[in-house]
Amino acid sequence: MTAPMVLAEGVRKRFGRLEVLKGIDLTVERGQVCCLLGPSGSGKSTFLRCINHLEKVDGGKLTVDGELVGYRQQGSRLHELREREVAERRRDIGMVFQRFNLFPHMTALENVIEAPTKVAGVSRSEARDQARHLLQQVGLGDRAGHYPAQLSGGQQQRVAIARALAMKPKLMLFDEPTSALDPELVGDVLDVMRRLAADGMTMVVVTHEIGFAREVGDTAVFMDEGVVVEAGDPRQVLAEPEQERTRAFLSKVL
């Protein structure tokens, strides 16, 4: 049997006395798009950051492609990996943040080739060719020489997506990728994400874009106060939610 791309079993996370994740169980199969929905402060972004060990879990188990995230198991005990080992595993997981986090002193092309050349050891000529192809894919083939300050927010976010794809990840994480954009710029970013989904990329997306979740998602997961309240087919969860808390949330955002 092939392991799920993401498997969370009783994942817990606390910051001081505040328990942000209270036992998350979640499975994302290969090629699926999982959309995490819920109010601010529900734990969605924290869970996403746990998937690539930007946050360390305090309980439970979390695996990506069958491997523990941030730990190795010896007998019944878990031992945290060294930062270098974590970084090596993180190469396979692309992440796109709310804020684009581009290097302001680098062009779009230079932003995209930075990780393949510095982290993966790809030659600059090969990385440059790949970067041009990726920028073309996200509709920015004519913006390769532009600096972030010369690009709109939507264009910067698409460069950020190309940058994440440059490492050829097996899994893509999106943390509210359109929340910082003007409404008229959202569509271009969502179109890129739709194409990724159509190409079979496994994606976990924290989003408030209900239409995207309904149209593209294979699973919709509604979270609140650190727990999964409801999960299932997006058409079912969004049209006929079983839980009152889900209904109350959707009544305010639809």
Look up the CATH number of the domain holding residue 121.
3.40.50.300
Flag whether 143 is in a domain.
Answer: yes
Average pLDDT of span 130-140: 97
Each residue's pLDDT tens digit, 147-194: 999 999 999 999 999 999 999 999 999 999 999 899 889 999 999 999
Flag whether 144 is in a domain.
Answer: yes
pLDDT at position 69, please? 84
Flag whether 125 is in a domain.
Answer: yes
Return the number of other C-beta atoms located less than 10 Å from residue 39's C-beta.
Answer: 16
Flag whether 246 is in a domain.
Answer: yes
Half-sphere exposure of residue 52: CA atoms within 13 angstroms, side-chain side: 24
What domain range includes position 78?
6-251
pLDDT at 63 over 80: yes
pLDDT at position 192, please? 96
pLDDT at position 208, please? 93
Each residue's pLDDT tens digit, 226-247: 999 999 999 999 999 999 999 9
Average pLDDT value over all residues in the chain: 94
- One-letter amino acid identity for 87? A
Flag whether 231 is in a domain.
Answer: yes
Q: Which residues contact 224 (CB under 8 A, 6 or more apart)?
A: 38, 39, 42, 245, 249
Flag whether 156 is in a domain.
Answer: yes
The token duo for 242 is 């079983």
pLDDT at position 74, please? 77
pLDDT at position 1, please? 66
pLDDT at 99 over 90: no
Half-sphere exposure of residue 89: CA atoms within 13 angstroms, side-chain side: 20
Widest pairwise Cα distance in the chain: 55
Return the SS3 of 6: strand
The token duo for 185 is 């710029």
Each residue's pLDDT tens digit, 208-218: 999 999 999 99
Flag whether 54 is in a domain.
Answer: yes
Our count of domains for the chain comes to 1
Average pLDDT of span 77-104: 86
Least confident of 2-11, 21-30, 87-96: 87-96
pTM, rounded to two decimals: 0.94
Least confident of 39-53, 75-89, 118-132, 201-215: 75-89
Flag whether 1 is in a domain.
Answer: no
Contact call for residues 130 and 163 (beta carbons, < 8 A):
no
